[in-house]
Chains A and B, each alone.
Chain A
Amino acid sequence: GAVVSQHPSRVICKSGTSVKIECRSLDFQATTMFWYRQFPKQSLMLMATSNEGSKATYEQGVEKDKFLINHASLTLSTLTVTSAHPEDSSFYICSADRGTREAFFGQGTRLTVV
């Protein structure tokens, strides 16, 4: 099956710093990738749709200046959490659309802001 790799799997950062999370499709090209956030014991909430070569589409309530998304190639999307604060601590997970009827998820990144 298709593989999506997300890195890092876990990161701890200081409040006020920025953190970059990478999502790579390893064996297929993904024109569209998705970023989700999951708080403890809650479901996945779609944050944004990452479009290769164009601007990301953000869901209502998600600050685009805080969560910067770049999809510069057909195999890589990055999410940068800028000026992170403790309330940004969460599990961030990406998925990629291969054009088949299934989304492939990365392993997720657990972000802790101290």
Chain B
Amino acid sequence: EDKVVQSPLSLVVHEGDTVTLNCSYEVTNFRSLLWYKQEKKAPTFLFMLTSSGIEKKSGRLSSILDKKELFSILNITATQTGDSAIYLCASNAGGTSYGKLTFGQGTILTVHP
């Protein structure tokens, strides 16, 4: 059974701090790893990673995948209160639809002013 584990489960920081969220996975026939941000409703897509060592970046967020060690990290620099959310990591396996995802438990990030 495919498994995705995130850590920490929750994190409280102050504005301006940098945070690193972790995601490890055990997936048969791994194809991709995805990061989502969830506020009150549907998750919004952040990154999809398929290759090791290639950093993806979007503003203050960046993510990288290590397929040898089976993990990914999501970094957020200069955090803002608007970054407060649940961050979800999910895996997708080859041979299945791209939409079929196994999610981790999520990391609840709280950014205080």
Known: A93-B42, A101-B32, A108-B42. A43 touches B98 (CB 8 A): no
| Interface-side segment among A11-19, A44-52, A66-74 | A44-52
Name B97's contact: one of A6, A32, A93 (CB within 8 Å).
A32
Provide the B8-31 mask, 1 if CB < 8 A to any CB of A, else 0. 000000000000000000000000
> How far does the alpha carbon of A89 sit from the alpha carbon of B102 in the complex, in Å?
21
Asked if A41 and B108 make an inter-chain contact with CB atoms under 8 angstroms apart, the answer reads: yes
Known: A101-B32, A101-B48, A102-B48. A44 touches B97 (CB 8 A): no
Q: Does A42 contact B (CB under 8 A)?
A: yes
Residues in chain B near residue A42, CB distance under 8 A: 105-106
Within 8 A of A (CB), among B69-113: 88, 90, 97-106, 108
Q: Does B43 contact A (CB under 8 A)?
A: yes
Q: Does A96 contact B (CB under 8 A)?
A: yes
Asked if B99 and A97 make an inter-chain contact with CB atoms under 8 angstroms apart, the answer reads: yes
Minimum C-beta distance from B56 to chain A (A): 13
Residues in chain A near residue B104, CB distance under 8 A: 43
Q: Does B68 contact A (CB under 8 A)?
A: no
Known: A43-B105, A44-B43. A34 touches B98 (CB 8 A): no
Residues in chain B near residue A106, CB distance under 8 A: 42
Residues in chain B near residue A6, CB distance under 8 A: 42
Q: Which residues of B contact A (CB under 8 A)?
A: 32, 41-43, 45, 48, 88, 90, 97-106, 108
13 CB-based A-B contacts, threshold 8 Å: A9-B41, A34-B97, A42-B105, A43-B105, A44-B43, A44-B101, A46-B101, A93-B43, A101-B98, A102-B45, A103-B99, A105-B42, A106-B42
